[in-house]
Structure 1
Amino acid sequence: MSKTFGVPWPDFNDGLAYNDVVSASDSELTLIDYYSSKHKNSAPLQGWLQRINKGQITVDGTVVTEPKTILRAGSKLVYHRLPWQEPDAPYLLEILYEDDDVIALNKPSGLQVLPGGLFQQRTVLTQLQWRANKQNSLPACQESHSVPVHRLGRGTSGILLCAKTKLAKTRLAAYFADGTSVVGSNRDADMKSRTMRKISKIYRALVNGILDKDEIVIEQPIGMVQYPGVAKGLYVASPSGKPALSKVAILERDVQGDHTIVQVLWF
Structure 2
Amino acid sequence: MAAPAKQTFGIPWPELNDGLFYTDVVSSSDSGLTLIEFYSSKYKNSAPLQGWLQRIQNGQITVDGTVTTGPSTRFSDGSRLVYHRLPWKEPDAPYLLEVLYEDDDMIAVNKPSGLQVLPGGLFQQRTVLSQLQWRVRKKTSSVASQGKHPVPVHRLGRGTSGILLCAKTKLAKTRLAMYFADGTSIIGGNRNSKEESKTVRKITKVYRALVHGILEQDEVIINQPIGIVRYPGVAKGLYVASPSGKQALSKVDVLVRDLQENRSMIKVEIQSGRPHQIRIHLSFIGHPLVGDPLYVSGGQPRSVDSEFVDESFAHDGCVIIP
TM-score over 0.5 for the alignment?
yes
What is residue 116 of structure 1 aligned with on the other side?
120
- Quick one: percent identity of the two aligned structures? 71
> 2 CA distance for matches of 1:76 and 1:225?
32
- Residues 77-115 of structure 1: per-residue CA shift (max 9 Å, x gap): 100001111111111111100011100011111111000
Kept in 2: contact 1:204–1:262 (CA 8 A):
yes
Match of 2:130 among 126, 151, 168: 126
Q: Where do 1:1-267 residues align within 5 Å?
A: 1-136=5-140, 140=144, 143-183=147-187, 189=193, 192=196, 195-208=199-212, 210-217=214-221, 232=236, 235=239, 246-253=250-257, 259-265=263-269
What letter corresponds to residue 79 of structure 1 in structure 2? Answer: Y
C-alpha change, 1:249 and 1:186, in structure 2 (3 Å) is farther
Distance 1:7 1:173 in 2: 27
What letter is aligned with 2:38? Answer: Y
Q: Which moved more, 1:48-57 or 1:195-204?
A: 195-204
Output the CA distance in 2 between the equivalents of 1:245 and 1:201.
12
Structure 1 residue 210 displacement after superposition: 4.7
Q: CA deviation at 1:46?
A: 1.3
Quote the offset at 1:251 in angstroms.
2.2
Q: Which runs of 5+ in 1 are unaligned?
A: none
User: If the length of structure 1 is used for normalisation, what is the TM-score?
Assistant: 0.84
Contact persistence 1:113–1:154 (CA under 8 A): yes
SS, match of residue 69 in structure 2: coil
TM-score, normalised relative to structure 2? 0.71
Q: Is the 8 A contact 1:106 1:159 kept in 2?
A: yes
Q: Which runs of 5+ in 2 are unaligned?
A: 272-322
Native 8 Å contact 1:179 1:193 kept in 2 = no
AA in 2 matched with 1:105:
V
| 2:171 match: secondary structure | helix
Aligned-partner Cα distance in 2 for 1:167–1:184: 26
